[in-house]
Amino acid sequence: MKALLIPLLAATFIASTAHAEPASAPAAAASKAPMSEAVVRKVDPSAGKITLRHGPIANLDMPPMTMVFQVSEPALLGNVKAGDTVRFSAEKIGGAYTVTAIEVAR
């Protein structure tokens, strides 16, 4: 009886996990924050910060306002200047609101 039970349990486990999505798939999807619109008020490359007058940020449940954000990479600030209308993504990383992507709106 035991000789039949172990292979049967192993087959059941393999069949039930064969169609499961990889554990990293939901995390990867969650890290792709939606884009929001804003006007750049100030760029401070030396501090790695940008001030944005932004619309609602859905993934952060944030209403429109003007605020200073950290940037995840200083290179993100290379193509933007005060007065530009931009689309950006932001996330809360280590307790700080951080811009993770930004592009000048066309």
Taking the CA of residue 33 as centre, how many other CA atoms within 13 Å lie in the half-sphere pointing to its CB? Answer: 22
SS3 2: helix
* 23-to-12, 15, 20 alpha-carbon distances in Å: 20, 17, 9
Domain count of the fold of the chain = 1
- The CATH code of the domain that includes 72 is 2.40.50.320
The overall pTM is greater than 0.85: no
- Domain range for 46: 2-104
Q: What pLDDT is attached to residue 44?
A: 97
Residues of the chain with pLDDT under 70: 1-31
Q: What pLDDT is attached to residue 89?
A: 97
Q: What pLDDT is attached to residue 106?
A: 80
Count of residues making up the chain = 106
